[in-house]
Amino acid sequence: MDLRAGHGDLLERPGVRHQCGRRQHRAGCGRRPHLRARWRREQVLERATYHHGDLRNALVDAATAAVRASGPEGLALREVAREVGVSPNAAYRHFAGRADLLATVAEHARGAMGAAMAERLAAVPPADEAPALARARLAAVGRGYVEWAVAEPGLFGVAFGAPPGAAKDGPPGCVGGPDPWWMLQERLAELDAAGGLGPRGRHGADTTAWAAVHGLAVLLIGPLAGLGAAERETALARVLATVGAGLAA
């Protein structure tokens, strides 16, 4: 049976519309008209709104705002795309999925925390004794860690929690600031060089210091969120002093 019967030479002429049963399509094109029109609208919207690849940054900014407000549970790729003003398909051209976007937000969160720690570190006044200065500088980065966590509980919740499917080899990356983990390592190296560590040296010192400030941060944004500013400051000062004394013992 000749399927072209009744259509004349229309099937031989790409680009000519014809009627075939109840479905209208364009000869020579495998894409249905409504799908093709939808794809074109998405392309026009993305090109009209964003240029030179800044759509990715806009998506990250919107995702960061969503996580800041509601924690990692508040992040949905479709909602982020809608907030930015593009289709979900446009967002998927930059991120493989929600886990990929969340991992990127976590990199920015760690960078922001590192920047807060660096700001506290820069404010430490000079001291004549090297061990005293090293202890003060270690306490400063710990203070910056906890203060940032209390100020940004939503971002803190994602900063060190790798989402499923987004694990990467090696240490987690940072964007926009120094890595908090390496800042701790540098301060411990400084304290060790100044003779401020006990006989055990740096063995286990990083885990001990990190666990203390991270645990306090989790408590202050969770079970102890109702503490007043003075009580929070007392708790933070005592934890930092305890860490310093323990590392020197």
Q: What residue spans define the domains of the chain? A: 26-92, 107-248
The answer on pLDDT for 76 being more than 60 is yes
pLDDT digits (tens, 9 = 90+) for 172-231: 678 989 999 999 999 999 999 999 999 999 999 999 999 999 999 999 999 999 999 999
Average pLDDT value for residue range 41-53: 51
Q: Which residues, at least 6 apart from 243, have a Cβ–Cβ distance to it below 8 Å? A: 138, 139, 142, 208, 209, 212, 213
Q: Which residues, at least 6 apart from 29, have a Cβ–Cβ distance to it below 8 Å? A: 14, 15, 36
CATH architecture for segment(s) 107-248:
Orthogonal Bundle (1.10)
Residue 35 is predicted with a pLDDT of 58
Residue 14 is predicted with a pLDDT of 43
Radius of gyration for the chain, computed over Cα atoms and rounded to the nearest angstrom: 28
Residue 40 is predicted with a pLDDT of 57
Contact between residue 58 and residue 101 where contact means Cβ atoms under 8 Å apart:
no
What is the CB neighbour count within 10 angstroms for residue 64?
A: 23
Residue 193 is predicted with a pLDDT of 95
Average pLDDT value for residue range 147-170: 76
Average pLDDT along the chain: 82
Give the pLDDT band of residue 32 (cuts 50, 70, 90).
low
Residue 110 is predicted with a pLDDT of 95
Query: Residue 83's closest CA among 107, 109, 100, 61?
Result: 61
Better-scored residue on pLDDT, 90 or 167: 90
Give the pLDDT band of residue 73 (cuts 50, 70, 90).
confident
Better-scored residue on pLDDT, 162 or 240: 240
- Residue 247: what residue type? L
The answer on pLDDT for 136 being more than 90 is yes
pLDDT digits (tens, 9 = 90+) for 108-127: 999 999 999 999 999 999 99
Residue 160 is predicted with a pLDDT of 85
Give the pLDDT band of residue 20 (cuts 50, 70, 90).
very low
Residue 19 is predicted with a pLDDT of 46
Give the pLDDT band of residue 162 (cuts 50, 70, 90).
low
Q: Pull the structure tokens for residue 104.
A: 């990127």
